[in-house]
């Protein structure tokens, strides 16, 4: 998966967990929780979606890497690089 594909995947997860939010305007380097009001319950959802869709386990100590969109991409791209975007 390319960086752009990983980005799309994270956006699609965010779209699922925050259906009332406008995710098209998300800035990559600002904290997600400041842009779309994500709380700890929502971070659990991001982690659960990654497990459901890609069988990726994110340990609780790594949650901090998911704070921004750029952080998510950096953290997840190595884990997803061998996957096909279609999965």
Partner 1 sequence: MAYDAIIIGSGLSGLAAGIRLAMFNKKVCIVEKHTLLGGLNSYYVRKNRTFDVGLHAMTNFTPKGVRNSPLGKLLKQLRFSHDDFRLCQQHMSEIRFPEHVLRFTNDFEFFRQEVADQFPKEIDGFNKLVEKILSFDELNLDDQQALGSRPILEEYIKDPVLIDMLNCPLMYYGNAREGDMDFYQFVIMFKSIFMEGFAKPVGGMHYILHLLEEKFKELGGELRMGSGVTSINAENGIVQSVTLENGDELTSESVISSMGYVETLRHCSPPLSEPDAKDIGQMSFMESLCVVDQEPRDLGYDKSIVFFSTQPKFDYKVPGELIDVTTGVLCCSNNFDYPQPMKEGLIRLTNMANFAHWDSLPRKDYIAAKKHWRTQALESVFTFFPDFRDNVVFLDSFTPKTIKKYTGHLNGAVYGSPRKIKNGKTPVNNLFICGTDQGFLGIIGATLSGISMANLHVLRK
Q: Which of 25, 29, 41, 86 binds partner 1 (CB under 8 A)?
A: 41
Task: Using the minimum distance from each CB to partner 1, give the nearer residue, 48 or 85.
Answer: 48
Q: Name all contacts of 28-32 with Cβ < 8 Å and 24+ positions apart.
A: 28/68, 28/69, 28/70, 28/73, 29/68, 29/69, 29/70, 30/68, 31/67, 31/68, 32/66, 32/67, 32/68, 32/69
Q: Which of 2, 12, 34, 52 binds partner 1 (CB under 8 A)?
A: 52
Q: Which of 2, 27, 28, 44 binds partner 1 (CB under 8 A)?
A: 44
Range in contact with partner 1 (rule: CB under 8 A) among 1-9, 24-32, 43-51, 71-79: 43-51
């Amino acid at each position: 998966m390319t960086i752009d594909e990983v980005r799309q995947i994270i956006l699609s997860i965010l779209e699922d967990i925050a259906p009332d939010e406008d995710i098209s305007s998300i800035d990559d380097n600002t904290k997600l929780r400041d842009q779309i009001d994500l709380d700890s319950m929502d971070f659990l959802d991001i982690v659960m979606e990654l497990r459901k869709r890609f069988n990726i386990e994110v340990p609780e100590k790594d949650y901090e890497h998911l704070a921004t969109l750029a952080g998510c991409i950096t953290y997840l791209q190595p884990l997803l690089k061998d996957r096909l975007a279609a999965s």
